[in-house]
Structure 1
Amino acid sequence: MNHQDIIDFIIQSDSPKIKYAFTDIDGVLRGKIIHRQKFLDGLTDGFGFCDVVWGWDSTDTPYDNGRTTGWHSGYPDAPVRLDISTFRQLPWEDNMPFFLADFSLGLDGQPNAYGLAACPRSLLKRIASQCQQMGFHAEFAQEFEWFNFRETPQSLQQKNFQQLEPLTPGMFGYSILRPSLESTFNHDLFDLLAQFDVPLEGLHTETGPGVYEAAIMHDEVVRAADKAALFKTAVKEIAYRHGVVATFMAKWNAELPGCSGHVHQSLWNPEQTKNLFYDPAKPNNMSELMCQFMAGQLYCLPHITPMFAPTINSYKRLVEGAWAPTTITWSVDNRTTALRVLNHREAYTRVEHRVSGSDTNPYLAIAASLASGLYGIRHKLTLDIPASVGNGYADKRNGILPTNLDEATKAMANSPIAAELFGTEFVDHFTRTRDWEWRQYLRQVSDWELKRYFEII
């Protein structure tokens, strides 16, 4: 369907309602249901949306250090535009029409610096445009692991997030048996996501009680990020309808594996007929372009880690022996390194960025992957770091990743590399939000502290 076909469909639809949404800086979908007439009017004039969405955190608590908006500005409306090409229908809500939006344009249709600085989707669109101008088609996909619990939002609060009932018991990765216990839920995930235009390549259990993994079909980079962002909320909405709560925390339990959000990536010619990462004449079938791309990612990684690990909890996953990387390393088909090369066939040759957790904002993780890879190509970096063999956790020749959000945020805030990749306005806004997150954490007293110190000290 072209744009006019979509508009005609909305006009002729029996439903007077349209839902639209965008992700905030944390990757949380924010949006509204609007009347069909408001939708049609907004195609010309755009919409106003309270800019507090760029001035508060995931709990709706206003930042005390924001510049983009705040009490000092009075939280005015900001211009939001629907992207008509993202049209899909919500199969679990009577096929209500749905659109993604962003803040790339002002109400006059001209580029808006405010939106470009704060809006994750706008940032990715800008980097994707740079990629196209360099003569590449970027093909990406994200995969996610997440835990499922037989709980409700109310029971989570009543139990204080303790003694939760997993969907299924025990450690049973790649199980054929366990999904049969919840076959309706499993089939709904696969089928409803496909109807929502977020088709899955695969769905299976991972090791851990009630944990699943899904790989989303690859697509052009912005559409891939759209699908990844929608996937997380769609899974939660489908789960609700089965009496299940899904969590994409990076590490919900210290004794269990964490949850990844690996980013798969490749560059193709504009016609999409040749994978530019594949060269059978080179070692490991890795083209010079692929090596430059990976060199850029490894070089930039310490400067932009919060894009892949944005929460306090992210760094509980990035520990040795937890199926997540801790070192600045690469390998061929080795799951202990930051970058993993998959190179058996041209059609599937790609780089898997394994630092990203399931708690990431897909637009930011994918933007960081692409921007840092393009940095390596623009600067013609060489992949001087030898491939890790065996245990990547022990390979510290090129350094280690930051160990907490404070360390990672300070590195990014002061990095000219980050400013070159994303612009000073975005870096300032994003790192201020991460600094706020760290300071909220410092104010808390944990159960661990109480158990360790309350009586004995």
Structure 2
Amino acid sequence: MKGKYKKEDIIRIIDEEGIEFIYLQFTDILGVMKNVAIPAQEISKALNNEVAFDGSCVDGFVRMEESDMYLRPDIDTFCIYPWGGAFGREARFICDVYNPDGTPFEGDPRFILKKVCKEAEDMGYKMYIGPECEFFLFHTDDRGKPTLITHDDAGYFDLAPIDLGENARRDMVMTLKKMGFDIEASHHEIAPGQHEIDFKFEEALYAADKIMTFKSVIKIVAKNHGLHATFMPKPINGIPGSGMHINQALYSNKNNKNVFYDELDKYKLSKIAYNYLGGLIKHAKSICAITNPTVNSYKRLISGYEAPVYITWSSRNTSPLIRVPISKEENTRFELRSPDPSCNPYLALAVILKAGIDGIKNNIMPPKNIDKTINDMDEEYRDKNLVESLPQSLNEAINFLCDDEVIKGALGKHIFERFVEAKKIEWEEYNKSISSWEIEKYLTRF
């Protein structure tokens, strides 16, 4: 919530609550949370934006000769951890990264999202997000290393005693609530050991902050229960992978009304909504590079496992890329079903919003909705209806990204170049590796 705290409030709370250590957190280009820890006595220095760090040590940031970076805490993200540390109580801020000259660092993913949100704001809109985050809980071995052994044999919406992870998930929900999350729902997902926790709509920037916090909390609580939580998109062959569906809507800056809603339309969608949808579909292939950023991501985006494959939209089934849930007025939204939780949420929301903005600015209309399920669409039907497919590999998605000037513009030159460089290296490493499947398939055959 913007304007929640003032600097003097923070100093007073830290003193009253006996906080000993404070973590200044930020996120690198690849979506990994980093932090600089300071003793509570240094809080004034942090609030005056005087805490520096070596940016050359962070993936994708800067070269050695440009290493000095400064952390500026967003005081509205102040949060006291509900657990005690080894040396006392702890709190955190999420920070923006700045250059020594006082300008925002263009390699900071949070800055990229803020920049695109400002573009939407100048058009009269603000983006609200409701993420649906899925993850797996696995046993660890005697050395504490994660295994692929699930803790249950439950399925969709099952309860204890079949769902043995229910206690862990309940602890996760309670911990998140203590940290300011408004939890909408939590349940067991379709695959054994797979779970989902959804939190309510929030402005895009703070939704991205919460996704990063969410992933950290889930891992910590799972470890306390002797389990390993993973947001890897597809850890086990033959069962559905983990997605992070993004429910999204635009609201008016003037009256805070949902601008996607039109009572007179067949699907209750406004002209703005259709244009936004058209932008999402136009840029769907290049967006994949950011929303599905790993080699493993594309093992999830295959037919038969609850994940989208074709670039379609529908209000009547759950198989398309974009679903329009049945809703009224303020709940009108689009659900983008391709993203997975390995993505950097700041970059993912930035490119999604940028695609929608492009649709609005250029009056892009979406293709006709497809209400058939994936299994009912044969090749002839897809060709006749011009139904295209999402990228089938990270390399293919990166190539689409490189050809999309709108999405490249959203990322900015610095992040675009370093992200593509890192992902090309990842793709080359993958191609050079020998998988267990290859050994099993070919070792004795030839």
**Coordinate RMSD, CA, aligned:** 2.1
**Is residue 158 of structure 2 the alignment partner of residue 165 of structure 1?**
no
1:152–1:248 CA distance, 2 compared to 1 (3 A): farther
Q: Which residue of 2 aligns with 1:87?
A: 78
Deviation for aligned residue 1:42: 2.5
Q: Which stretch of the first structure deviates more once superposed, 408-417 or 220-229?
A: 408-417
1:336 to 306, 309, 319: 319
SS of 2:94's equivalent in the other structure is strand
CA–CA separation in structure 1 for the residues paired with 2:257 and 2:316: 22
Matched with 2:37 is 33
Residues 24, 179 of structure 1: CA spacing in aligned structure 2 closer, same or farther, 3 A cutoff?
farther
* Identical amino acids, percent of aligned pairs: 28
Could you tell me how far apart the structure 2 residues matched to 1:92 and 1:239 are?
14
Q: CA deviation at 1:398?
A: 3.7
* Native 8 Å contact 1:174 1:204 kept in 2: yes
Q: Which of 34, 53, 60 matches 1:49? A: 53
After TM superposition, give the deviation of residue 420 of structure 1 in Å: 3.0
Quickly say closer, same or farther: Cα 1:75–1:247, change in 2 above 3 A. Answer: farther
Alignment pair present for 1:77 and 2:68: yes
C-alpha distance after superposition, 1:286-308 (max 9, x if no partner): 10000000100110112232111
Q: Deviations over 1:221-272 (max 9, x none)?
A: 1111111111111100111111111111110011111111011100111255
SS at match of 1:22: strand
The one-letter amino acid paired with 1:388 is I
> Residues 333 and 91 (structure 1 numbering): CA distance in 2 closer, same or farther, change over 3 Å?
farther
Q: Tell me which residue corresponds to 1:100.
A: 94
State the SS of the aligned residue for 1:165.
Answer: strand
Corresponding residue number in structure 2 for 1:418:
407
Does residue 1:311 correspond to 2:314, yes or no?
A: no
Provide the C-alpha distance between the structure 2 equivalents of 1:271 and 1:191, rounded to a whole number of angstroms: 35
244, 255, 268: which one aligns with 1:261: 244
Matched residue SS, 1:100: strand
Which stretch has the larger CA shift, 262-271 or 4-13?
Answer: 4-13
Q: Which amino acid aligns with 2:6?
A: H
Give the distance between the partners of 2:49 and 2:33, measured in 1 at CA. Answer: 23
Residues 135-180 of structure 1: CA deviation (Å, up to 9, x unaligned) = 11211121111110121694436xxx4xx321212x4210123476
Bigger shift: residues 203-212 or 6-15: 6-15
Partner secondary structure for residue 191 of structure 1: helix
Alpha-carbon distance between aligned partners in 1 of 2:142 and 2:132, rounded to the nearest angstrom: 25
- In structure 1, runs of 5+ residues without a counterpart are 57-67
Quote the residue 1:59 is aligned against: none
Task: Label 1:297 to 1:88 Cα distance change in 2 as closer, same or farther (>3 A).
Answer: same
Unaligned segments of structure 2, at least 5 residues: none
Identify the residue that residue 63 of structure 1 maps to in structure 2.
Answer: none
Whether contact under 8 Å (1:25, 1:361) holds in the other structure is yes
Query: Once the 2 structures are TM-superposed, how far is the Cα of residue 76 of structure 1 from its aligned partner?
Result: 2.3
Query: Separation in 2 of the partners of 1:88 and 1:409?
Result: 36
Contact 1:193–1:231 at 8 Å: present in 2 too? yes
**Aligned match of 1:111:** 103
Distance in structure 2 (CA, Å) of the matches to 1:111 and 1:291: 37
Shift of 1:191: 0.8
Deviations 1:66-116 (A, max 9, x none): xx534xx3572322221111111111236521111121x3344x323xx22
Closer/same/farther in 2, CA of residues 45 and 280 from structure 1, 3 Å limit:
closer
Between Structure 1 and Structure 2, the one with more strand by share is 2
> What amino acid is aligned across from residue 10 of structure 1 in structure 2?
I
- Contact 2:243–2:337, Cα closer than 8 Å, also in 1: yes
Q: Which residue of 2 aligns with 1:120?
A: 109
- 1: CA distance between counterparts of 2:249 and 2:411? 20
Residues 1:180 and 1:249: Cα distance change in structure 2 (over 3 Å):
closer
Query: Could you tell me the TM-score, scaled by structure 2's length?
Result: 0.91
Q: Does 1:390 align with 2:372?
A: yes
Provide the TM-score with structure 1 as the length reference.
0.89
Q: What secondary structure, in the 3-state scheme, does the structure 2 residue paired with 1:382 have?
A: coil
Residue aligned with 1:323, SS: coil
2:213 equivalent in structure 1:
230
* Contact kept? 1:278, 1:349, Cα under 8 Å: yes
